[in-house]
Structure 1
Amino acid sequence: MAMVTALVNERSVVIFSKNSCCMCHTIKTLISSFGANPTVYELDEHPKGHQIEKELKGLGFKPSVPAVFIGQKLIGGANEIMALHLKGQLMAMVTALVNERSVVIFSKNSCCMCHTIKTLIGSFGANPTVYELDEHPKGHQIEKELKGLGFKPSVPAVFIGQKLIGGANEIMALHLKGQLVPLLLGANAIWL
């Protein structure tokens, strides 16, 4: 168990997988479709793959892959992940992890205001997680959800410290009032 624990530690989403496993591919695709960027260990390529697989079997995984950990917690294999997804609980779990990031910006490559906001926030030393909706496989669905939150236009949409801050107007207003840097500091997105 020590090897699995070490690989899972401090990572939001970890998937133990094999390239030869079609269910592994399905689970990786499903979790990535919510905007998560899972750490994936392909056991058929990993130098300690056989030992890791033995530990996973010891945890009750039969078959040993896929094995999914979210927030350092063992969630389960394909059956458990699909059951959570069908109950509508998987997206909530992954969304919570996305929200754990200091700064998240939903953007489009074709949007000049998105570029301005990303540049502004980056100029203070922040390293935001950026989702380009015109490149993301679920970009249209995410854009629909942002519009449902009141974003018109839908991008840029900025979350700082797990809180919805707003679009370009709100970010620029905070910057002009001298409140953007303290907000980034408070979210541990930058350090002085």
Structure 2
Amino acid sequence: MEKIQSLTSHNGVVIFTKSICCLCYAVTVLFQELRVNPIVYEIDQDPEGREMEKALLKKGCSSPVPAVFIGGKLVGSTNEVMSLHLSGSLIPLLKPYQLLS
């Protein structure tokens, strides 16, 4: 879907979420704690949200939300993000997007 492509290619870190999803919130907070200010796009607030959900699943997301993109590439959902974080591989991916303290 063009909207997803546009958002992910023009922003460093994008998280597609739903406003009532606690896992979406947890992933967003993790990124903020890692000094990254992601673009958080709540698909349930978009009239095309259902189509976006289907498009995210087609892109390979195991779950439509949260869907995390870093540098225009799909990283995945909660499980993939947490696995990367626990293995120490997430921070190097986020380095170019971290805010200076």
Tell me whether 1:95 sits opposite 2:5 in the alignment: yes
The 1:103/1:111 distance shift into structure 2, 3 A limit, reads same
| Greater relative contact order, per chain length (Cα 8 Å cut-off, separation 6+) | 2
Tell me whether 1:126 sits opposite 2:36 in the alignment: yes
Q: Is the 8 A contact 2:35 2:98 kept in 1?
A: yes
* Residue-by-residue CA offset, 1:163-183 (whole Å, 9 max, x unaligned): 111110000001101111111
Q: 1:190 maps to which residue? A: 98
Tell me whether 1:174 sits opposite 2:84 in the alignment: yes
Q: 1:111 maps to which residue? A: 21
CA distance in 1, matches of 2:7, 2:56: 18
Report matched runs for 1:1-192 at 5 Å. 91=2, 95-96=5-6, 98-185=8-95, 188-191=96-99
Q: Give me the TM-score of the superposition, normalised by structure 1.
A: 0.48
The percentage of aligned residue pairs carrying the same residue is 44
Q: Give me the TM-score of the superposition, normalised by structure 2.
A: 0.87
Unaligned runs of 5+ in 1: 1-33, 35-90
After TM superposition, the runs of 4+ consecutive aligned structure 1 residues lying more than 3 A away are: none
CA distance in 1, matches of 2:31, 2:65: 15
CA distance in 2, matches of 1:142, 1:164: 14
Unaligned runs of 5+ in 2: none
Higher alpha-carbon Rg: 1
User: 1:150 Cα deviation (Å)?
Assistant: 2.8
User: 1:147 Cα deviation (Å)?
Assistant: 1.5
In terms of fraction of residues, the more helix-rich structure is: 2
